[in-house]
Chains A and B, each alone.
Chain A
Amino acid sequence: MTDLRATLSATPSATPSATPGASPGATGPAAEPSRAQGVTITGLAKAFGAQPVLRGVDIEIPRGSVTAVLGSSGSGKTTLLRMLAGFERPDAGTITIGGTPVNGPGRHVAPQDRHVGYVPQEGCLFPHLDVAGNVGFGLPRARRKDRVPEMLELTGLSELADRYPHQLSGGQQQRVALARALAPDPALLLLDEPFSSLDAFLRTSVRLEVLRVLRKAGTTTVIVTHDQDEALSSADQVAVLRHGQVAHAAPPLELYTHPADAALARFVGDANLLPGTVRGGRAETALGALPLADGAPVFAEGEPVLVLLRPEQLVLLSADAAGSVPGTVTQRDFHGHDTVLTVDTPASGALTVRCAGAADLAPGTPVAIRATGPVTGWAQPA
């Protein structure tokens, strides 16, 4: 049963850099010393009662990288994190951290023996200890004197050493939690929705600050989040978790431009999906013939495909420009730095178009749209 799940999980992936043939047990940590220092998750499965939460998850996390696990609520991402930390036992599968197997058949290393740092969603600072006490909590007494000021310095908290958690702002609490987790120099750092409890204004600055600290410390990190923007902007690798399986794991740019399927394309950003036909290396669509990108799957001549056009790949033109299709603006969402327009076209229905700055186009304005390639796509069942 378990093996079957593990095999099923080897999701077809169009990405060259994705885990090559991730069959469980095929590649031992000893076989690839360079990877051995990172984290390897193979065939991880977990059910709560009759309800499966993870159905065979495989992720390879290179050493020193930041990997975001992205998923909607109920996708099993928190369970995955808790198993990495050792709070939950997997039903099947193996986890290897820094070359040491911590979960496997008949093996479960206790949380306190894993050297895994953990920053929970709400920070969870010890309310009875001040900032210095929190940061030094996981250190042997002798090391606190040197290490605590060092960590406070790194996270910019030196001035707050003797404050108590209730005297700190949300962003400061998050940084203390980070310093506390980093202090024992963990082999792996886990962040559970670290920025979701912060308001929008703080979120970006705290995120940048946390990433700066992480890069400086060079710690292998897993961030669990449901926020696509956050995952794409923070991570070296994004693993999208869907129904308890990894739907796609890739660097952010690749995930955005070449998602493994159409549903994934919608999940990691706004997407226009157009039906088309492949002719001579180009996809012929209602918006014209578009060149297929290098990373796109290989299609047969005349094969029906579904093509992905991101809103910024659509350009607004004056009404009768060559190679454009006419349409009418039906909705305008002004964001300041850009404007997202919904344009109704006779050729291809409603399309989402993003243009930089403030586009002064009220609903009802006639416009023309041209698509710019290259594009990716997926074979469409006839």
Chain B
Amino acid sequence: MGRVASVEQVSTAPLRLVTDQDRSVHIAATIAVPAVESEAQLKAILTSLSGVDAVGAEARAAKLSTRSIKKSTKLTAIEMAISMVDLTTLEGADTPGRVTSLCTKAMRPDPRDLTVPSVAAVCVYPDLVAHARSVLGASPVAVASVATSFPSGRASLNVKLMDVREAVLAGADEVDMVIDRGAFLSGRIGQVFDEVVAVKAACGDAHLKVILETGELVTYDNVRRASWIAMLGGADFIKTSTGKVTVNATLPVALVMLEAVRDFAETAGRTVGVKVAGGIRTSKDAIRYLVLVNETVGSTWLTPDLFRFGASSLLNDLLMQRLKQQRGAYVRADEFSGD
């Protein structure tokens, strides 16, 4: 029962990647996407998109969430996540006082540790934008405003555009719009597209995030198509949810959206960001999303410019986990301010 003979004699030809010099077919990315001029053309583009196999997409998302993120990687991920939070309050009962607390926390999530990065933005209703702006002053934290009759989007286009303009006038740096799900689900995709274009125009210099409300779109095929409509219409970000319905961001939905922005970047040459919102409460959840980004579109997207978490309670869990990593022991929730 001896050992098998050594393998040195066998050819170990140089191992290489595909390069232009290879005899192989080096494929340039597919035909660039033309500007959309009609609903028929839009339909053709959407029809040419591949379908999504739900079982496969969910399996891929589940496998990626078994990645073990520990030690320094975990700390890096937590701090990355903090810097990607859009700290949000979208309640009927919101007051200037509430917004003041929110903005203060946004600028300095942990007053005793100034090395903690500030969050990316605060997210409020349009009539509180001016107040948020005044509290934030010259801080790098952006003001994002929901608009277009958030969350339902059920109003005339005029009303929705007015909503946007007022938010922008009040000082919003970013606008989070909702697509018309009724129009989408009844096949009026041209209308959905036109609204995105119109809102983008009304945004002026403000960045546009387009909320797809994936929980209402239900299927991954719909999420893929809606993502493309939004991107073709000029979205700077595509966003999963309003957070106001039962089903919000999920890992497989985020996967499909990340694949969409990856493919869009290759074909249309523009990088669009992704925001996941609703139901993301723990650092563990957040880190799973970052792994998804990392292994679907890569590190270019691992920046607040291209990836955001729409959340409120997530921030405190991130702070707690960060502290736990440093102290080596579990900490109390009361260690940090409630809001």
A and B pair up? no
